[in-house]
Structure 1
Amino acid sequence: MIKPPRLKFGDTIGIISPSWGGAEMFPHRVKQGVQCLRKLGFDVRLAKHALNRKGFVSDAPENRAQDIHEMFADPDVKAIIASIGGDHSCHLLPLLDFDLIRSNPKTFMGYSDITVLNVAIWQRTGLVTFNGGTLLADFAEYPDMFEYSKEYFLKAVMGETPIGRIEPASHWTDEFLDWGEKQDQTRPRNLLPSSGWTWLKEGSAEGRLVGGCLESLQHLRGTEYWADWQDAIFFFETSEDKPSPRTVDGTLMDYQNMGVFEKIRGLLIGRPMSYSDDEKQLLRDIVVERTRGYSFPVVADMDFGHTAPQFTLPLGVTARIDSTRKRFEIVEGTVK
């Protein structure tokens, strides 16, 4: 395992757009996100092609890969954060120089479609990557980034000690205020009180965190970038496309058929975006059914993924689940 160097205030964070070209479409979100990072105490550098858009992606695969390589190779850049997700980070996998990445370890973070890169980089290089906020979605929150998201981001990338226990957020939202109409600049999103996480199956477990967006993980199945699930705590969440509980059931059955559930030690599920209460309960019932023959603990409705705020999850780092104490904690340091 390779842990990236700890970020310090004043360090430069590079912004890339390895998938969708949303940064070109919503410059006000770019401005808001950059201001947030600077307010936190970091310098910001935009990659050469980060603000481009070419059809449904930001740029040609070669240019998107070039941005990643240049950010990893630049000694002045200490962390790399994706501007937004998408559906086409998979274009970059055959183009990435994993030796370059391994030789220049630094914080690499995003979620949604960035799952593809998080898992592939971790699998091929051993570098701890981070399932966490993106520039447009999290750092550009109006009027400011949620304190919960901010707290766990800073703990993950700057902490001298392990992140430790992660507490449920007191409130959450999946409200969408149209970015194109700049409704997102008119008021803060409405927050709902949280009833906490749902402990679906009892037990205690310790293992390496591996996972991300469930739909994005599908791009890696059958490839050399597919994760090693042995002794893992598997975490997943679903995207704004809102795959139905029925669809998630089929995907989880695939994981069962592939033998993933026989290898993992625990399962964490992010709060699904745009689900009704009935759909959330159906999803919980499906997860219990799919994992019935296994003894690992399962926690649902957690604060990561496409609802906000979210905590940051480091891939490859050891975490612990204890249902008796209703406790989830990251017990290993994430940076060095």
Structure 2
Amino acid sequence: MSVILPKPLKPGDKIGFFSPSSPATVFAPTRFNRAEMFLRSKGFELQPGLLTGQHDHYRSGSIQQRAEEFNALIRNPEVRCVMSTIGGSNSNALLPYIDYDALIRDPKIIIGYSDVTALLLGIYAKIGLITFYGPALVASFGELPPLVEETYQSFEAMLCQHSPLPFQYLMPQRWTDTKIDWETQTEPKPTQDNAWRYRGSGIVTGCLIGGNLNTMAGIWGSPYMPEIIDGDILLLEDSLKGIETVERAFCHLKACGVFDRVSAVVLGKHELFDDKGTGRTPLDVLIEVLNGQALPILYGFDSCHTHPMLVTPLGVEAEIDFDAERICLKGPWLEPA
């Protein structure tokens, strides 16, 4: 299967947004409105999905309604980017009903994170379209400055222009996972100094694939989970989980032989990780599960639930230099000019 590259965004392009799981446009109207205003201020038009302002308790609508909302956007030739509003728990329900042929005829940028991992990986697995682990409308672009501007800088650099290759990621100087009520937040969140840890040596090159650790369990073993092959670089991140859940998820990957095939792991920050009083980090858990296996790990990468967020194209060749402590993309992720 050949890889499909979407076209970059241009000023005035239309971004469609949809709610494949949780109804963020309903439970966070203030943040939703702020996010809309922010992207419009950057020169984009917005196309609301059919379920905007709708909810069915824990979700935005039925499975078929959510699938139709997504399909309507990918069939719309004016929409050049389709962005989720937020994640949730049930995006995998849409996978059998996506109009994959429409995306083959008219490839466009598909972006989101968390539970939307199921759609990003499913689309890549089915048709080879490069998808993007990156900001969601409400969750990301509804944040206040300066963090929202830093997230947008990555969005613009990755999706609105042809950056020269190799493209080196630069670590944000500060970050946060502070929890503040979205409807009452009026000030920027407090931040802390950032650090990425490179555990390993030498240079590793491979196809970058992965996303939200918990979500992948909902598509594992299905045609919507890309095959993890020898040499791949595996991106993993999660949010609001306890240490026992993270241990179980890592052990699942080990039991499936994933850590025997990948050349490295990129482990994103875990938002509000509950260590259950152990004092251990997700990195500590992964090292224990690996049980002496010398698998290189980049820990703390900012393509995750924290702010700011870096955009990560899935299915693209990446390189990690553990000695020079840098990560870069070597393959293209947008259609050439």
- Whether the TM-score (by the shorter chain) exceeds 0.5 is yes
Aligned residues: 330
- Are 2:184 and 1:183 aligned? yes
Deviation of 1:41 (Å): 1.5
Q: How does 1:14-163 map onto structure 2 within 5 Å?
A: 14-143=16-145, 146-161=148-163, 162=165
What is the TM-score with the length of structure 2 in the denominator?
Answer: 0.93
Q: In 2, Cα distance between the equivalents of 1:9 and 1:280?
A: 47
* C-alpha contact 2:4 2:129 (8 A) present in aligned 1: yes
Distance 2:307 2:147 in 1: 10
Q: 2:174 aligns with which of 171, 192, 197?
A: 171
Partner of residue 10, structure 1: 12
Match of 1:214 in 2: 213
Match of 1:329 in 2: 328
- Separation in structure 2 between the aligned mates of residue 117 and residue 94 of structure 1, nearest angstrom: 10
For the 8 Å contact 2:241–2:273, the answer to whether it is kept is no
Taking structure 1 as reference, are residues 169 and 77 closer, same or farther at Cα in structure 2, changes over 3 Å only? same
1:101 Cα deviation after fit: 2.1
Deviations 1:205-263 (A, max 9, x none): 11111111111111111211122111321001112xx2222321221121111111122
TM-score scaled to structure 1, two decimals?
0.93
Q: What is the distance in 2 between the residues matched to 1:201 and 1:288? A: 12
Please state how far the C-alpha of 1:152 moved relative to its aligned partner.
Answer: 1.2
| 1:269 equivalent in alignment to 2:270 | no
Q: 1:129–1:315: 8 Å Cα contact kept in structure 2? A: yes
Match of 2:290 in 1: 291
2:318 counterpart residue number: 319
The alignment partner of 2:222 has SS state of coil
Task: State the alpha-carbon separation in 2 of the partners of residues 304 and 279 from structure 1.
Answer: 25
Give distance in 2, aligned partners of 1:80 and 1:141. 19
How far apart, in 2, do the equivalents of 1:49 and 1:276 lie?
33
| Structure 1 vs Structure 2 CA RMSD | 1.8
Greater Cα offset, 64-73 or 115-124: 64-73
Give the structure 2 partner of residue 258 of structure 1.
256
State which drifts further: 283-292 or 110-119. 283-292
| Secondary structure at the counterpart of residue 307 of structure 2 | coil
Percent identical residues: 28
CA 223–147 in structure 1, closer or farther in 2 if over 3 Å, else same: same
Pick closer, same or farther for the CA change 1:169–1:206 going to 2, 3 Å.
same
Q: Which moved more, 1:200-209 or 1:228-237?
A: 200-209
CA distance in structure 1 between the aligned counterparts of 2:282 and 2:254, rounded to whole angstroms: 16
